[in-house]
Amino acid sequence: MINFYSFPMTFAFLTIFFNSFSQEIKISAELKNIKDVFGLANSNRINWELYGKFHHQEYKPVEAENVIEDIDKYLSKIPTTNEQNGETKEFNLIKKYRNNFDTTFRRLQFLGSDQLGEFIYDKGRRIPVHFGLYGDTALSVIISDAFIDNIYNTLQLTSKQRASKVVTTYILPSLKAFALSFTNKEIKYFGMTCLYGSKDFSDEGTIAIKAEFVGFIAPCNLIRKYVSGDLTEDELVDESDVYVCDRDMVTDIKKIKIVIE
């Protein structure tokens, strides 16, 4: 039996709760921290599934050399307020480094040796470049939403092994594009995120395919040493941070330690 007398009390409680919650949400002028940037990029897993699994053409990835067109559209609308943390500050940084992004994406026409350079994101709402803070102070640049069309077999590779394979096969070879395009000492960390597929290959159904996310970030000085051949990939990975959201996770990301195999 429904107790209607409890409704006013419940409504009052919810009103107090949401008012308190809304008061706690404050938009900061400072840039997002890196984990929040990765969390935002992770939300694009749904786009990977809509295209990678169901082939919806409206979610077709953007080729690397064409990303600059969306960056320019983004820069044509100057934000006057911060509707999200650090929005105006990030806009000004993207504007400052617009040409650096252009040359970076031109150098990312291939990811690794077997993957076209493509990026999957909500055109008109987002772009695959971000600025954030590592450790609340270190300026970092992130290139997000790299589309990897590979679907990894969950019967052969664990979640960590799948993430490790994407990092070593696609992200590490892409670091040269960043190192050649960004030489300014203002940026302290560089990161990249990828979206890819996984499947239990004993299940023939399309629904068995699920998207996964991996985010990688490392100090720029070490990336430049790695690109110049003065640092091994094992040494670079040891000093990097890697976050994943695998097929069994919903929205959260978690930090992992990967091992080069």
Q: What is the model's pLDDT at position 85?
A: 78
Strand runs labelled E in the chain: 62-63, 110-111, 115-116, 118-119, 129-134, 138-153, 189-199, 210-219, 241-245, 254-256
Task: Report the alpha-carbon distance of residue 93 to residue 77 in Å, rounded.
Answer: 14
Which residue type occupies 38?
F
**Does 61 fall in a domain?**
yes
Residue 2 lies in a domain: no
Residues of the chain with pLDDT under 70: 1-25
DSSP state of 207: G
CA 161 to chain centre: 19
Largest pairwise CA distance in the chain: 73
Structure tokens at 79: 């934000």
User: What DSSP element (H or E) covers 19?
Assistant: helix 6-24
Per the structure, the count of domains in the chain is: 1
Is 122 within the bounds of a domain? Answer: yes
Give the alpha-carbon dihedral of 39, 107, 224, 216, to 10 degrees. 20
- For residue 215, is it within any domain? yes
Q: What is the amino acid identity at position 75?
A: L
Report yes or no on 5 lying in a domain.
no
Domain that holds residue 42: 30-256
22 occurs within a structural domain = no
Provide the strand spans (E) within 61-182. Answer: 62-63, 110-111, 115-116, 118-119, 129-134, 138-153
Q: Token digits for 165?
A: 């394979």
State both tokens at 142.
Answer: 């992130």
Angle CA 67–71–77, to nearest 5: 155
**pLDDT value at residue 25:** 52
Q: What is the DSSP letter of 33?
A: B
Q: Is the dihedral of CA 44, 259, 101, 111 positive or negative?
A: negative
- Establish if 21 belongs to a structural domain: no
Q: What angle do CA 120, 180, 130 make, to 5 degrees?
A: 40
Report d(CA 52, CA 212) in Å as an integer.
12
Give residue 102's identity as a one-letter amino acid code: D
The CA distance from 40 to 128, in Å, is 11
Assess if residue 153 is contained within a domain: yes
The two tokens of residue 161 are: 């092994």
Please identify which residue in the block is written with the tokens 């709402």.
125
Q: What is the pTM of this model?
A: 0.87
